[in-house]
Amino acid sequence: MNRFDLLNKVQNILKDNLVICNIGLPSQELYKISDQPNFFYMLGSMGLSSSIGLGLALSQNKHVISIDGDGSVLMNMNTLATIGNRAPSNYTLLIIDNGSYGSTGDQRTFTDEKTSLKDVALGAGCKNVIECSGEETINALNKAIDDKDNSYVIISKINSGNVKIDPIPLNPITIRDRFRKFIGKVKYL
Amino acid sequence: MKISKKIIDNLKKGGVDFYLSVPCKLLANMIDILENDKDVYYSAVPREEEGMGICAGAYLGNKFPCIMMQNTGIGNSVNAIVSLLQLYQMPVVFLISYRGTPGEPVGAQGGMAKITEDILQTLRIPMLHCSSEKELDKISTFSKHAKVVESPVAILCDFNLMKDDK
């Protein structure tokens, strides 16, 4: 299973939640599978999906899923400490760990060598950390969303590989405003 | 404490209700005030760039965020400012302790001080430079301006203004 297969599998869960989706191929693939106003596609700032989702979860009550990658988490690893200490129960970080920098040509990341993001997350103070296969990710996500007392970090171990895809045609303000409208914060659209 | 209290009062008057900080000794009093303020959210964060991401999310959730940091933090955050906050036109207040300005005892702070305003100008970020207590009165209007123009704005507080705020 690669990232596109996994996003296909979990799309129905994503549709019912606020989603912050990582820059590059993850956002492009999700857009192709099913575009929704409650999906915030990152067009820049690699590494910050987990942080944007955390700020959003701290600011309103709907459940937030940050879709991140192993390469991106490695770039902003302090985020796991902040999540371990501050994440509210309406927050789930889904790390799609394919051991490669998919958007830049599938170069190997350190999770394909010695680094375990599960161990890093646990050491950073995250209490509920699930490392699972692509197939098990639906159950892990449902568990995280159903638990009203705890936040979760899910590390979904899948294969690398991408599908041929186009850039997202939406402009950033459209992405921003329809997302805020969905939450009920924009009245003028 | 008087200066720090005035800054926080003015930020709150400007509508700011979500605060992060990467600590600086010049920000210590403000952090104390915020940790005891039940009306707003406050947390420390390990790195400024990450803080920019959290502020972006807070804005999406209808908060008006502020990140407090040393001027060195701007250097850590340039891509997040341009490719996230400015790309999506998100108002965030940067409350910056301006290390390396006159009065600063640590010589090594001078390097970032020399280029801080140049960086902010290059980024086209509106600046409010506070070197005396009187200028702090402009903070609430300046914060509201961030929302009007949908942009991050920067408030620079000089070393000598903050250092004796016991």
Q: What is the CATH number of the domain that holds B48?
A: 3.40.50.970
Q: Do A173 and B62 touch (CB under 8 A)?
A: no
> For residue B166, what pLDDT is reported?
74
**Is residue B107 pLDDT above 80, yes or no?**
yes
**Is residue A189 pLDDT above 90, yes or no?**
no
On whether the CB atoms of residues B86 and B54 are closer than 8 A, the answer is: no
> For residue A27, what pLDDT is reported?
97
Share of chain A above pLDDT 70, in %: 100
**Cα-based torsion angle of the residue sequence A71, A19, A93, B22 in order, rounded to the nearest 10 degrees:** 80
On whether the CB atoms of residues A30 and A58 are closer than 8 A, the answer is: no
On whether the CB atoms of residues A162 and A3 are closer than 8 A, the answer is: yes
Residues of chain A with C-beta less than 8 angstroms from the C-beta of B43: 82, 86
Share of chain A above pLDDT 90, in %: 94
3-state secondary structure string across A3-20: HHHHHHHHHHHHHCCEEE
Q: State the CB neighbour count (10 A cutoff) for residue B141.
A: 12
**Is residue A54 pLDDT above 80, yes or no?**
yes
> For residue A186, what pLDDT is reported?
80
Distance, in Å, from the CA atom of A142 to the CA atom of A82, rounded to the nearest integer, reads: 23
ipTM over 0.90: yes
* Per-chain mean pLDDT for chain B: 97
> For residue A61, what pLDDT is reported?
97
**Is residue B90 pLDDT above 80, yes or no?**
yes
Distance, in Å, from the CA atom of A49 to the CA atom of A112, rounded to the nearest integer, reads: 21
When pLDDT is averaged across residues B71-94 and rounded to a whole number, the result is 98
Size of interface A-B (CB pairs under 8 A): 115
DSSP structure string for A150-166 = --EEEEEE--------P
Interface of A with B (CB under 8 A): 20, 40, 42-45, 47-60, 64, 76, 78-79, 81-82, 86, 172-173, 175-176, 179-180, 183, 185
CA angle A142, A30, A134 (to 5 degrees): 45
- What total number of domains does chain B contain? 1
> For residue B148, what pLDDT is reported?
97
Ordered structural domains, chain A, with CATH = 3-183 (3.40.50.970)
Instruction: Locate the chain A residue with the closest alpha carbon to B56.
Output: A52
Residues of chain B with C-beta less than 8 angstroms from the C-beta of A180: 60, 62
What is the domain extent for residue B103? 2-163
pLDDT band, very low/low/confident/very high, at A50 (cuts 50, 70, 90): very high
When pLDDT is averaged across residues B3-32 and rounded to a whole number, the result is 97
Three-class SS state of A36:
coil
Tokens standing for residue A134: 């692509």
What are A109-166's pLDDT values in tens digits?
999 999 999 999 999 999 999 999 999 999 999 999 999 999 999 999 999 998 999 9
